[in-house]
Amino acid sequence: MDLTQVKMLLEDTFNKELSEGKKRHIVFWYDGDGEFKEDIDELNLENAKIIKLSKNSYFYVKYQLEKVDMDSNYLLYAPFEKPSPKENYLLDILKYSIEFSTDKAAVIMRDLNISDDSLKSVFRKYIKFFNKKDREKIFKGYEIEKYTEETVDLAVLSSLCKLPYPDFDEVLRVLLMEEDLEKNKYLEAIEKFGRLDVLWKLADKYYGYSDKEPTLEKLAVFMLVTNVAYCLNGELPDTWRKYVSARKADCVVFLSNFMNHSLYSAAYDRLANSMEWKLKVHEYIDNWEIEDYINCDTFKVFDEAVIRKLTEQLLSDIGEFGRYRDIIQARRTKHWYNFFKSEYECIYWAIELFDCWKDVSQNIRQYTPLEFAKRYAEQYYKLDTAYRKFYTSFDRLQNKELLMELRDKIENIYVNGYLNTLSIKWSDSLETLNGNWTIPGMIMQKDFYNTYIKPFKNRRERVFVIISDALRYEAAREFCDMLNKERKGSTEIVYMQGCIPSSTRLGMSSLLPHKAITLDEDYKAYVDGISSEGTDNRNRILNNYSQESIAVQFMDVIDMKRDDMRKTFGGKELIYIYHNAIDARGDNSKTEREVFDAVEEAFKELILLINNLVNNVTATNIIITADHGFIYKRGNLMESDKISKGSIEDAYENRRFVLSTKTLELDGTLTFDMEYLLGPGTSLKYISPRGVNRFKVQGTGANYVHGGTSLQEILIPVIKFKNDRSKDSKNEVTKVDVKLTSITRKITNTISYLEFFQTEKIEDKRVPLRLKVYFVDEENNRISNENIIIADSKSETYEDRSFREKFVLKNRKYDKTKKYYLIMEDEEETVERIYDKIPFIIDIAISDDFGF
């Protein structure tokens, strides 16, 4: 800095506005190197007098400033270092004066209002950092209350990492989030404008990372291996031991908050995947039992191993289904679960199918048709649901190869075991009806209107009837549970004996009010002489029984605005709404393999429809039913699955049935009179393959069929929903409650276990609760790892609804006079996420990592 620059800075200083009652400016300039000793006499200031100090002139200066001239501005130039306070005889004047320096560090400190000269050596190391206003602005923005060497170091590192506040955890996180750890832009900035040695010194202090040649990659390995050491029950590989930190708690908390943070988790995944490959984790994992790493979620390979071993055990028929469920239950709270959600769900539904079939296969006997219907509605349907849910998840897999053998076993058990066994015994049972399609004790589909709808009409109550094409009973059971948990109100499901053929024509006709149902020569259905095909015709049929009725299509209703909906349904007491998502996909050979996805979409559409009806037109009574069910199996059909029937004249033919007025003698078939529906005057016969076989028919699309007599086709669901608009909470949908049951509210170790309890089981209107649980300090800084609690147990027993969670606190000093909080956060809430906030005292006598 030359004399001209010095003069400009000094005059700027003297021209500053006076404050705090001052009448003038007095500026001390200690030039320790005597750099301007020869030039000071040439310095002429417009608004100040200059006194050149010597160590013998203190009394003169003091007298001049405090007696002779008390009004003028003064520059006191000292060509030596500033004396210590004890030896500075002008200290009293200095305290209310300004100190000027050409030392850049001193200038920086002056701008930051830092008077502690011991920090000058620290700031001198960061001259390059403060040369740029943008960096200096970020630094100043931190508004540090107390400057120490570490707070300055940390603020510089944080500024270079573009952080909104100084925090070493965030510095490390930003550094490790970069894709290229070697050519890291933030690390390069620290090397150029900050101090790498400080970064590694702090990494050692807070996380125990010490290395003669430190790198970010080594730091990442160090952190990740330490995390594995924390959660692994087996022996750590010898080659990994050198990477385990002495400060395990801090590493565990850091990684827990890194991997579980919504903004950082993707970066963590990238980092973990890269280091997993470098550490060759897959080569060690076979040395451990699945229980050894059941709590490990550092690397993706742990979940891959769990999935592989569960699959192997299912294929080996070991049959420890309860243990498998517990393993999946444990993995649900882990970091990588969502990445492998479809794989885990495949395995879960395979477990459900195998376990259920194990029970059913041992107990299935010859029952009456009514007993079979009851058993299907209570138990057997679960196998159809498990099969459907397995394929729904299987179809979402990115890589299906790992589960192909499991899929083959699913197919074999479902088709050759369950479907064939049940259908044969069910067909044997149907033969006891002697050709009369009436099962004593069951309500028939043709009586739907009189049984379920007419009572509303008699009471002058409005009722909405939703008919979802091919919503078979097992799917309706799942939807009933969904609806029960979606809306306040009462929900129940019953079943009817469907008509035969289990087809859309007769199913839709049977659900309408009618005196007579007939078929013409083309086998088209008529209700009271009116064709039952098309919305307009169905409107005519309904109007014959109620002038305040209407039939509409789902697609016409779903996009209606509230006013249009009110106008359409205003004054109507009977509303039939026709929905077609499942059959539309299944009955098309090009899309039949998507039928299970169509079921999932049907659920969403039906929920949306019901919500609109309740919210827009205050619907109270809603009945959901179907025209027929269906059979679907994914595997290729064998010749043994098909029955040859030859050419039949004057008959209506389908893969699952034949309608004919002639008596047909076909092996492997069942025959029923159509009198049950068309009346005693008909000679029409219904012929269907026994079991789930198909007639040989040319063309594609034989995996999805209906029209036959299987339980999956003819057990028709009736869901009765009554909306509740009262203030009574009886039918209110609420999440279960979770309480901290540990008595103590005092933490005395860096590792602590806390007990939680789900106060009621999942049932009816009680729905699951998912919580994040962690500790924070008074400033809301996280000080522990994060645990997930999924409270969704349906068990009656206390033990099954209890959770024991392990908490690891950061290894730091805790003040037992301050409050710390256990935060229980509801993940599904968007606004009020804090479920509970429980104060704790932390009193850790010796902070260490004992207990790992």
581 and 715 part of one domain: yes
Question: Tell me, what's the pLDDT at 133?
Answer: 82
Range 523-548 average pLDDT: 96
Contact, 449 vs 576, CB < 8 A? no
426 and 480 part of one domain: no
| Domain end position, chosen among 723, 745, 775 | 723
Question: Tell me, what's the pLDDT at 846?
Answer: 58
Task: Name the percent of the chain in helix, strand, coil, to the closest 5.
Answer: 45, 15, 40
How far, in Å, CA of 268 to CA of 638, rounded? 49
Contact, 499 vs 510, CB < 8 A? yes
Tens digits of residue pLDDT in 602-626: 999 999 999 999 999 999 999 999 9
369 and 497 part of one domain: no
Number of residues written out for the chain: 852
pLDDT class of 639 with cuts at 50, 70, 90: confident
Block residue for tokens 């807070």: 206
pLDDT class of 832 with cuts at 50, 70, 90: confident
Contact, 353 vs 387, CB < 8 A? yes
Does 489 fall in a domain?
yes
**High-pLDDT (> 70) share of the chain, %:** 99
Does 196 fall in a domain?
no
Tens digits of residue pLDDT in 485-518: 989 899 999 999 999 999 999 999 999 999 999 9
Tens digits of residue pLDDT in 36-59: 888 888 899 999 999 999 988 999
761 and 716 part of one domain: no
The lowest-confidence range among 50-54, 94-98, 642-646 is 642-646
Contact, 359 vs 414, CB < 8 A? no
Q: Which residues of 299-321 are buried (b: 16+ CB within 10 A; e: fewer)?
A: bbbbbbbbbbbbbebbeeeeeeb
Q: Which run of H or of E encompasses 658? A: strand 658-660
Tokens (6 digits) for 464: 């909405």
pLDDT class of 342 with cuts at 50, 70, 90: very high
Does 295 fall in a domain?
no
| Domain end position, chosen among 102, 133, 162 | 102
Strands (E), 387-482: 463-468
Does 131 fall in a domain?
no
State how many domains the chain has. 4
| CATH number, domain containing residue 838 | 2.60.40.2550
Classify 123 as helix, strand or coil: helix
Which residue range forms the structural domain that includes residue 393?
A: 300-432
| Domain end position, chosen among 679, 698, 723 | 723
Q: In the chain, what is the straight-line distance between the N-terminal and C-terminal CA atoms, in Å? A: 58
pLDDT class of 848 with cuts at 50, 70, 90: low
386 and 456 part of one domain: no
Pairing of strands 574-579, 549-553: parallel
Does 664 fall in a domain?
no
491 and 391 part of one domain: no
How far, in Å, CA of 186 to CA of 302, rounded? 31
How far, in Å, CA of 246 to CA of 848, rounded? 9
Question: Tell me, what's the pLDDT at 154?
Answer: 97
**Residue of 768, 762, 760, 777 lying closest to 837 (CA atoms):** 777
Question: Tell me, what's the pLDDT at 851?
Answer: 46
pLDDT class of 849 with cuts at 50, 70, 90: low
Tokens (6 digits) for 458: 């008699």
Q: Which amino acid is at 254?
A: F
Question: Tell me, what's the pLDDT at 18?
Answer: 86
Q: Please name the residues in contact with 769: beta carbons below 8 A apart, sequence gap of 6 or more.
A: 735, 736, 737, 738, 758, 789, 791, 792, 826, 835
569 and 449 part of one domain: yes
Of 840 and 121, more confident: 840
Dihedrals φ, ψ of 610, to 5°?
-65, -40
374 and 519 part of one domain: no
Give the chain's mean pLDDT.
93
Range 650-657 average pLDDT: 89
Q: Counting Cβ atoms within 10 Å, is residue 757 exposed (0-12), middle (13-18) or buried (19+)?
A: middle
pLDDT reading at 852 higher than 60: no
Tokens (6 digits) for 5: 């620059």
455 and 400 part of one domain: no
Does 132 fall in a domain?
no
451 and 591 part of one domain: yes
Tens digits of residue pLDDT in 211-256: 999 999 999 999 999 999 999 999 999 999 999 999 999 999 999 9
418 and 556 part of one domain: no
Tens digits of residue pLDDT in 655-671: 999 999 988 888 899 99
Dihedrals φ, ψ of 686, to 5°?
-110, 125
Contact, 24 vs 76, CB < 8 A? no
pLDDT reading at 850 higher than 50: no
pLDDT reading at 731 higher than 90: no
Q: Which amino acid is at 790?
A: I
pLDDT reading at 65 higher than 90: yes
**High-pLDDT (> 90) share of the chain, %:** 79
Q: Please tell me the pTM assigned to this model.
A: 0.87
| CATH number, domain containing residue 467 | 3.40.720.10
Q: Name the maximum alpha-carbon separation found in the chain.
A: 137
Range 517-545 average pLDDT: 96
How far, in Å, CA of 84 to CA of 446, rounded? 106
Q: Which run of H or of E encompasses 270? A: helix 265-279
Range 198-209 average pLDDT: 96
Tens digits of residue pLDDT in 460-475: 999 999 999 999 999 9
pLDDT reading at 566 higher than 60: yes
Does 382 fall in a domain?
yes
Block residue for tokens 């019901």: 610
pLDDT reading at 794 higher than 80: yes
The lowest-confidence range among 121-135, 181-195, 434-448, 536-550 is 121-135
Tens digits of residue pLDDT in 343-363: 999 999 999 999 999 999 998
| Alpha-helical runs (H) found in 438-594 | 448, 454-458, 473-486, 504-511, 535-543, 554-557, 562-569, 582-586
Does 170 fall in a domain?
no
314 and 399 part of one domain: yes
